[in-house]
């Protein structure tokens, strides 16, 4: 079973999110062992302080090194091999699906959630965690990024998704955007479902979906096509799509 430890000032916030839905179900089924640790429980200070003013002056507060390091040591003491430590920060490398796949193969990861203006640099040097960002924007804390990472990683573990939920993983649409989905009713607000999906003709449906995936990827994320190996059929399709899209644009 994969083990995940989260070091945070807001363990309840993390626990609440991770008890619901598919991740909550995976934990109940013992497919993953997730523990949220309150960094505040690891202070030696009688006021349970975890932050202080920055040396050199300036605005805001900085998280102190010691409570985080003691929390890290506690987490290490719970296992025979130290976990792969990850620090969620706006300065990290952007998280990708590829990195999630790699992280999902590790036996144990530990996530460090920063707050205030950040963490005393010395504990970062000491633990030397992998630094990961979930995108180029700033948040008030590392908890939401940690929860995003846990969700993205845990869903890749064996048995977590039902076969219905994980079809995307096996599908040949991998590397392209998903085709559009429709469900009942057949007509909604004057809008109908594409004919082919009601036809029951599976080969045609497959073809239509493959084409829709290509159309969407070309229209919304043309950059993704750079790294995607197109089959002969897809190349031909893409040529048609480009012609159609350019026609729409009136070129």
Q: Which residues bind ligand 4H6 (CB under 6 A)?
A: 88-90, 114, 117-118, 133-135, 137-142, 145
Work out whether strand 62-63 and strand 51-52 pair parallel, antiparallel, or are unpaired: antiparallel
105 is written with which tokens? Answer: 């193969």
Nearer to ligand 4H6, 115 or 216 (CB): 115
Nearer to ligand 4H6, 18 or 95 (CB): 95
Q: How far is CA 205 from the centre of its chain?
A: 30
Please state the closest distance from residue 39 (CB atom) to ligand 4H6, in A.
13
> CA triplet 143, 144, 147: central angle to 5 degrees?
85
CA separation for the pair 235, 117 (Å, rounded): 49
The residue number whose beta carbon is nearest to ligand 4H6 equals 114
Please state the closest distance from residue 111 (CB atom) to ligand 4H6, in A.
11
Greatest Cα pair distance in the chain: 72
Nearer to ligand 4H6, 82 or 141 (CB): 141
Please state the closest distance from residue 94 (CB atom) to ligand 4H6, in A.
8
Please state the closest distance from residue 133 (CB atom) to ligand 4H6, in A.
4
Nearer to ligand 4H6, 83 or 145 (CB): 145
Please state the closest distance from residue 125 (CB atom) to ligand 4H6, in A.
14
Nearer to ligand 4H6, 42 or 218 (CB): 42
Please state the closest distance from residue 183 (CB atom) to ligand 4H6, in A.
34
Nearer to ligand 4H6, 10 or 179 (CB): 10
**HSE on the CB side for 51, CA within 13 Å?**
15
Contact 101, 158 (CB under 8 A): no
Task: Count how many residues are written for the chain.
Answer: 251
Please state the closest distance from residue 136 (CB atom) to ligand 4H6, in A.
7
DSSP state for residue 250 in the 8-state scheme: T
Q: Give burial (CB, 10 Å; 0-12/13-18/19+) of 7.
A: buried
CA separation for the pair 38, 14 (Å, rounded): 10
Nearer to ligand 4H6, 83 or 118 (CB): 118
- Strands (E) across the chain are located at 2-8, 32-38, 51-52, 62-63, 84-94, 108-113, 130-133, 187-188, 191-192
């Amino acid at each position: 079973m994969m083990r995940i430890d989260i070091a945070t000032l807001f363990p309840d916030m993390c626990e609440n999110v991770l008890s619901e839905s598919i991740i909550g179900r995976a934990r109940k089924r013992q497919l993953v062992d997730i523990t949220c640790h309150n960094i505040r429980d690891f202070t030696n200070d009688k006021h349970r302080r975890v932050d202080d003013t920055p040396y050199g002056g300036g605005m805001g507060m900085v998280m102190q090194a010691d409570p985080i390091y003691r929390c890290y040591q506690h987490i290490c003491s719970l296992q025979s091999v130290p976990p792969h430590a990850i620090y969620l920060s706006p300065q990290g490398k952007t998280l990708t699906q590829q990195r999630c796949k790699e992280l999902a193969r590790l036996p144990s990861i530990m996530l460090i959630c920063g707050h205030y203006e950040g963490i005393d640099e010395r504990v970062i040097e000491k633990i030397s965690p992998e630094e990961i960002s979930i995108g180029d924007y700033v948040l008030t804390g590392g908890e939401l990024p940690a929860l995003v990472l846990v969700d993205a990683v845990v869903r890749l573990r064996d048995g977590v998704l039902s076969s219905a939920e994980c079809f995307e993983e096996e599908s040949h649409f991998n590397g392209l955007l998903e085709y559009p989905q429709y469900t009942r009713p057949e007509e909604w607000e004057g809008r109908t479902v594409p004919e082919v999906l009601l036809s029951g003709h599976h080969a045609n449906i497959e073809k239509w979906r493959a084409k829709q995936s290509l159309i969407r990827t070309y229209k919304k994320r043309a950059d993704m096509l750079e790294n995607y190996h197109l089959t002969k059929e897809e190349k031909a399709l893409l040529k048609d799509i480009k012609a159609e899209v350019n026609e729409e644009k009136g070129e």
